[in-house]
């Protein structure tokens, strides 16, 4: 008993260390460069546009740049060395002024850049006049206590995963409001995490690339709702080809001759690729756009095809080769890296939002007020969850999924076509992940790392509910969302995800199989 | 585009300071995964505490670098215990999830607003290498080496120390693995229950392996801090851990020299692809891509390499295929 107490205590300490928060936006690049982001003093996530920055080496000017709408700037350098960076004081909006630091004097800074280093250079702004009141304030780390004022400023820079609108009033009001936000967040996590849990149940693979499937969905919906043209059509063609191939395989396996089937499948895949090339060449000639709900539909179908393709052309062959589970896990990490960075190349590293749903009048339902888009998210998520539950509970394929998830060997010996069920699970999981991505993107922002941020919370949700059980993922997702949001009542918002992960660690200690899991699952 | 120049530059980076630092961290990871079978996906967390051990001691408290190294190692020890106690009893993939979450969380804590008095938040800490360079036996102004392999005196000093540490770590690993202790942890990798049935305390052995590998990771982080002279929390992103995994799997897990060869090969490949892509870009052969995309392509390439290695050559360059047939239950 004592050891367990010690363990719980230590887990709690770990939990205090756990603080997911703002994610960095810096892109990965090769070569030497100087870069940075200039943000507003009260909210560093809001960039300041149009500040001119010039980089010199010795007396030679390398390049002059201006910050973009996110306040980002970057200068590619010819090689390692010492550079002088000059910020044009005139170009700074009059309400701000440069914060003087040890490194940055009179808008000039020296930066030593090593080989292949992407050196960030911090230029911070203050409200005009603020520095005059506190002249001794500096960023120098020596003054251990001097930074208290900066700490204050940082708490206002809110975590991008948390945006609760209309938050005000007394404790009761805030409680209800946050509970509603937590419900929304939890539903989004639940929708995304069902696939993760079912995939684990049926194949024992912890799919690390699930987060990037979420990103994929959000990005696709963004693409088709903001105007598809060349790239959209090409992607659509490729996925159509893959989808037809998978469906052919699922429908006619065993009925048609093996060779014929393979020929048909590859014809469809290559047909898709050929069509994609044609579409790509045609480029913007065939431009079209659909409203967000239709784009979301396309994204869900494409997500399902993505999941199905991964299962059919990667995981199934690996299973047939008896690749060990650890190796599969590492493969899924590799896959996540590929997917994320391909998306980054295709869509860039900007943070975008779905157009047309940003500024909305709040709807008041009793004590809760939300924008209509959040109500729609909750509605869609609830309907989808109920539908998935019905599918799992009442249909043949749903029962088969649960059976395979429960015990693969037993299911196989009782005549279930396990491979086909696994394929359907991947299709379902991929589609739901995409939908989760659209909902998450609608509620927050779309960027290439959004799925990775959600992934750890999805892991927390499925572990909490019990790995491998679909209903566990739903319960766990709701619990994680509620805990994360409600914790902001008492603790700083930066800590909100920490509580969700702490819940996960506690669960691992007390009941490793999760709320709804069966005991044998954990070795 | 001068292929020979790119090749020479890549070869230079394969023996350079960064390769040495990653080799050191990968030797630690090898102890975790290669010998004990622990799926540690948070090695960068150990590097982070090591680097910040040096950073905070030197830049904030003005202590000597040696003290900083000790602080970093102490932090790594505490981190390993905190991580291991709740998760080492569970199945391997739980450890993977917990470690990656912890490492990411550590980065966010170090860059969070309330930690700024110590860590200086996103700004990071500067001026960390002067203490280390004071004891430099090489002449800092001089350049050493032959042909393409030219390094400054400061780089030479750092490389000497880091490669020395790598050699020492490899020697210690070799001695440990050929001791009764090593046989037990390899047994744990193969079949935990069998080892348990022999009356060994599996948990304690796993914990020792985790601590040892973590200390090596922290040492690598500390060397990184000294090498760069400045650290920011955002350079300790999960990508670093993925690099280390590729290094380990490329070289061959479960081999003493695996991570070292892997690190050299990896940095050679990284710099080669980078130079090659940039060269193509300058020639105007990559019209669809901008400069920032090259880094993303490189990371996608890393991911692909990870997949292909696992599928087609799980033992890496010098590994033994039989050693890699680990199956976790």
pTM of structure: 0.74
Partner residue facing B116 (CB), from A114, A150, A508: A150
Query: pLDDT tier at A133 (50, 70, 90 boundaries)?
Result: very low
- b/e A483-505 (16+ beta carbons within 10 angstroms → b): bbbbbbeeebbbbbbbbbbbbbb
Q: Which tens digit of pLDDT belongs to each residue from B73-132?
A: 999 999 999 888 878 877 777 788 888 888 888 887 887 777 788 888 778 888 888 888
Query: pLDDT tier at A108 (50, 70, 90 boundaries)?
Result: confident
For residues A191-201, give the mean pLDDT. 90
Q: Cβ contacts (< 8 Å) between A459 and chain B: which residues?
A: 97, 101
**Chain A residue closest to B327 (CA)?**
A324
pLDDT of residue A24: 30
Query: pLDDT tier at A149 (50, 70, 90 boundaries)?
Result: very low
Rg (CA), chain A: 26
Contact at 8 Å (CB) between A422 and A205?
A: no
Partner residue facing A27 (CB), from B295, B303, B325: B295
Does the pLDDT at position B31 exceed 90? Answer: yes
For residues A335-344, give the mean pLDDT. 91
Question: Most confidently modeled of A7-16, A362-371, A447-456?
Answer: A447-456
Partner residue facing A331 (CB), from B39, B116, B310: B310
Q: Which tens digit of pLDDT belongs to each residue from A240-286?
A: 889 888 888 888 877 778 888 888 888 888 998 888 888 888 777 77
Q: Determine which helix (DSSP H) or strand (DSSP E) holds A364, and give its type and residue range.
A: strand A363-365
pLDDT of residue A156: 33
Does the pLDDT at position A11 exceed 50? Answer: no
Does the pLDDT at position A216 exceed 90? Answer: yes
Query: Does residue A276 or residue A135 have the better pLDDT?
Result: A276
Does the pLDDT at position A143 exceed 70? Answer: no
Which positions ≥6 away from A286 have C-beta within 8 Å?
A229, A233, A279
How far CA A219 is from CA of A32, A69, A186, A343, A450, in Å, comes to 30, 20, 21, 8, 10
Does the pLDDT at position A310 exceed 80? Answer: yes
Does the pLDDT at position A187 exceed 70? Answer: yes
Contact at 8 Å (CB) between B42 and B103?
A: yes
Inter-chain residue contact A330 with B249, CB threshold 8 Å: yes
Check CB contact of A520 with chain B, cutoff 8 Å. Answer: no
Q: What interhelical angle do B238-251 and B258-282 show, nearest 10?
A: 110
Does the pLDDT at position A159 exceed 50? Answer: no
For residues A135-152, give the mean pLDDT. 34
For residues B192-208, give the mean pLDDT. 92
Nearest partner of B189 among B90, B318, B324, judged by Cα: B324
Query: pLDDT tier at A46 (50, 70, 90 boundaries)?
Result: low
How many other C-beta atoms lie within 10 A of the C-beta of residue A403? Answer: 18
Check CB contact of A128 with chain B, cutoff 8 Å. Answer: no
Q: How far apart are CA B154 and CA B141, in angstroms?
A: 8
Inter-chain residue contact A19 with B327, CB threshold 8 Å: no
Average pLDDT value over all residues in chain B: 86
Query: pLDDT tier at B326 (50, 70, 90 boundaries)?
Result: low
Question: Residue A514 is encoded by which pair of tokens?
Answer: 């999760």
Check CB contact of A139 with chain B, cutoff 8 Å. Answer: yes
Q: Classify residue A160 by burial, with Cβ atoms within 10 Å: 0-12, 13-18, 19+.
A: middle
Does the pLDDT at position B283 exceed 70? Answer: yes
For residues A153-182, give the mean pLDDT. 62
Does the pLDDT at position A210 exceed 90? Answer: yes
* B104 three-state secondary structure: helix
CA A334 to chain CA mean position, Å: 17
Could you give phi then psi for residue B146, rounded to 5 degrees? -125, 145
Query: pLDDT tier at B324 (50, 70, 90 boundaries)?
Result: low
pLDDT of residue A115: 59
Inter-chain residue contact A330 with B245, CB threshold 8 Å: yes
Q: Determine which helix (DSSP H) or strand (DSSP E) holds B147, and give its type and residue range.
A: none
Partner residue facing B295 (CB), from A28, A114, A206: A28
Nearest partner of A101 among A143, A133, A71, A66, judged by Cα: A143
Does the pLDDT at position A467 exceed 70? Answer: yes
Beta-bridge mates of residue A98: A125
**Nearest CA of chain A to the CA of B151: how many Å?**
12
Instruction: Write the DSSP string, B214-238.
Output: HHHHHHHHHHHHHHHS-B-GGGS-H
For the ranges A100-109, A387-396, A400-409, which has the lowest average pLDDT?
Answer: A100-109
Q: Cβ contacts (< 8 Å) between B90 and chain A: which residues?
A: 508, 512, 522
Average pLDDT value over all residues in chain A: 76
Q: How far apart are CA A295 and CA A221, in angstroms?
A: 5
**Chain B residue closest to A452 (CA)?**
B238
**Chain B residue closest to A8 (CA)?**
B86
Query: Does residue A268 or residue A88 have the better pLDDT?
Result: A268
pLDDT of residue A12: 43
Query: Does residue A20 or residue A389 have the better pLDDT?
Result: A389
Partner residue facing A151 (CB), from B116, B126, B296: B116
Locate tokens 């149009």: which residue?
A50
pLDDT of residue A101: 65
pLDDT of residue B219: 94
- ipTM of the assembly? 0.81
Query: pLDDT tier at A183 (50, 70, 90 boundaries)?
Result: very high
- Pick among B93, B126, B130, B289 to test the A interface (most A CBs inside 10 A): B93
Partner residue facing B123 (CB), from A22, A139, A338: A139
Question: Residue B60 is encoded by which pair of tokens?
Answer: 């904030």
Inter-chain residue contact B113 with A333, CB threshold 8 Å: no
- Pick among A326, A335, A343, A462 to test the B interface (most B CBs inside 10 A): A326
Q: Cβ contacts (< 8 Å) between B237 and chain A: which residues?
A: 24
Query: Does residue A301 or residue B311 have the better pLDDT?
Result: A301
Inter-chain residue contact B60 with A141, CB threshold 8 Å: yes
SS (HEC) of A36-104: EECECCCCCCCECCCCEEEEEECCEEEEEEECCCCCEEEEECCCCEEEEEEECHHHCCCCEEECCCCCE
pLDDT of residue A438: 93
For the ranges A121-130, A352-361, A385-394, B227-236, which has the lowest average pLDDT?
Answer: A121-130
Does the pLDDT at position A371 exceed 70? Answer: yes
Nearest partner of A442 among A157, A166, A188, A70, judged by Cα: A188
**Nearest CA of chain B to the CA of A392: how many Å?**
26
The percent helix, strand, coil of chain B (3-state, each to 5) is 75, 5, 20
For residues A69-73, give the mean pLDDT. 70
Partner residue facing A30 (CB), from B18, B37, B294: B294
Q: Determine which helix (DSSP H) or strand (DSSP E) holds A163, and give its type and residue range.
A: none
Check CB contact of A256 with chain B, cutoff 8 Å. Answer: no
The proportion of chain B whose per-residue pLDDT surpasses 70, expressed as a percent, equals 96
Which 348-377 residues of chain A touch chain B by CB within 8 A? Answer: 349
Give the count of Cβ contacts less than 8 A between chain A and B: 219
pLDDT of residue A31: 59
Interior CA angle at B28 toward B22 and B31, to 5°? Answer: 140
């Amino acid at each position: 008993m004592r050891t367990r107490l010690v363990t719980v205590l230590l887990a709690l300490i770990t939990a205090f260390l756990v603080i997911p928060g703002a994610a960095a936006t810096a892109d990965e690049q090769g070569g030497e460069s100087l870069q940075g982001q200039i943000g507003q003093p009260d909210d560093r996530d809001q960039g300041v546009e149009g500040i001119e920055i010039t980089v010199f080496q010795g007396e030679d000017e390398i390049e002059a740049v201006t910050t973009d709408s996110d306040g980002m700037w970057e200068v590619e350098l010819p090689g390692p060395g010492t550079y002088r960076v000059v910020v044009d004081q005139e170009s700074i909006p009059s309400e701000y002024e440069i914060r003087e630091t040890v490194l940055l004097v009179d808008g000039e800074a020296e930066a030593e850049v090593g080989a292949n280093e992407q050196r960030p250079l911090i230029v911070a702004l203050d409200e005009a006049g603020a520095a005059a009141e506190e002249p001794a304030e500096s960023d120098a780390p020596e003054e251990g206590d001097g930074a208290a004022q900066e700490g204050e400023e940082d708490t206002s820079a809110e975590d991008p995963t948390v945006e609760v609108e209309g938050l005000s009033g007394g404790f009761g009001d805030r409680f209800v409001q946050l509970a509603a936000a937590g419900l929304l967040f939890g539903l989004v996590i639940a929708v995304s995490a069902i696939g993760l849990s079912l995939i684990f149940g049926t194949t024992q693979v912890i799919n690390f690339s699930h987060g990037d499937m979420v990103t994929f969905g959000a990005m696709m919906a963004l693409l088709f709702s903001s105007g598809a043209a060349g790239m959209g059509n090409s992607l659509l063609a490729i996925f159509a080809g893959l989808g037809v191939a998978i469906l052919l395989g699922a429908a006619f396996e065993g009925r048609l001759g093996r060779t014929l089937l393979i020929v048909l499948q590859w014809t469809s895949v290559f047909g898709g690729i050929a069509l994609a090339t044609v579409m790509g060449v045609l480029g913007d000639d065939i431009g079209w756009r659909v409203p967000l709900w239709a784009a979301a539909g396309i994204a869900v179908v494409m997500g399902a095809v993505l999941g199905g393709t991964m299962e059919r052309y990667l995981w199934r062959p690996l299973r047939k080769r008896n690749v060990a589970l650890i190796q599969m896990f590492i493969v899924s990490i590799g896959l996540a890296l590929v997917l994320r960075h391909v998306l980054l190349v295709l869509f860039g590293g900007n943070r975008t939002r779905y157009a047309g749903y940003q500024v909305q009048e709040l709807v008041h339902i009793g004590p809760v007020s939300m924008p209509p888009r959040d109500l729609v998210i909750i509605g869609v998520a609830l309907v989808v969850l109920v539908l998935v539950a019905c599918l799992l509970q009442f249909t043949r394929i749903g029962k088969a999924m649960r059976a395979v998830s429960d015990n693969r060997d037993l299911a196989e010996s009782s005549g279930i076509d396990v491979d086909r069920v696994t394929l359907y699970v991947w299709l379902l999981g991929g589609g739901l992940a995409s939908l989760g991505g659209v909902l998450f993107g609608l509620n927050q922002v779309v960027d290439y790392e959004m799925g990775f941020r959600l992934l750890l919370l999805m892991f927390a949700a499925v572990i909490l509910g019990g790995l491998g059980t679909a209903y566990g993922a739903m319960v766990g997702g709701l619990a994680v969302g509620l805990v994360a949001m409600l914790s902001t009542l008492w603790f700083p918002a930066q800590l909100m995800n920490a509580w969700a992960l702490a819940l996960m660690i506690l669960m691992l200690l007390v009941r490793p199989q999760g709320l709804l899991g069966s005991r044998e699952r954990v070795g | 585009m001068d292929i020979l120049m790119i090749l020479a530059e890549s070869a230079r980076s394969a023996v350079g300071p960064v390769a040495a630092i990653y080799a050191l961290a990968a030797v630690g990871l090898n102890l975790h995964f290669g010998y004990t079978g622990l799926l540690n996906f948070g090695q960068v967390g150990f590097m982070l505490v090591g680097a910040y051990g040096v950073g905070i001691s030197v830049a904030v408290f003005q202590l000597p670098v040696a003290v900083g190294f000790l602080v970093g190692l102490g932090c790594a020890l505490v981190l390993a215990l905190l991580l291991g106690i709740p998760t080492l009893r569970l199945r391997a993939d739980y450890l993977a999830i917990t470690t990656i979450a912890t490492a990411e969380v550590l980065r966010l804590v170090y860059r969070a607003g309330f930690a700024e008095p110590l860590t200086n938040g996103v700004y990071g800490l500067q001026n960390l290498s002067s203490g280390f360079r004071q004891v430099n036996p090489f002449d800092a102004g001089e350049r050493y080496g032959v042909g393409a392999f030219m390094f400054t005196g400061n780089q030479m000093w750092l490389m000497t120390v880091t490669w020395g540490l790598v050699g020492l770590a490899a020697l210690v690993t070799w001695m440990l693995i050929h001791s009764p202790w090593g046989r037990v942890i390899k047994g744990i990798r193969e079949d935990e229950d069998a080892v348990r049935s022999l009356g060994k305390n599996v948990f304690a052995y796993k914990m020792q392996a985790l601590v040892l590998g973590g200390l090596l990771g922290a040492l690598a982080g500390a060397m990184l801090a000294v090498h760069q002279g400045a650290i920011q929390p955002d350079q300790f992103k999960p990508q670093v851990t993925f690099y280390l995994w590729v290094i380990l799997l490329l070289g061959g897990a479960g081999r003493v020299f695996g991570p070292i060869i892997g690190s050299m090969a990896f940095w050679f490949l990284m710099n080669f692809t980078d130079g090659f892509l940039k060269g193509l870009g300058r020639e105007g052969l990559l019209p669809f891509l901008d400069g920032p995309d090259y880094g993303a392509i490189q990371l996608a390439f890393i991911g692909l390499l990870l997949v292909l290695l696992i599928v087609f050559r799980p033992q890496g360059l010098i590994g033994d295929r039989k050693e890699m047939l680990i199956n976790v239950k």
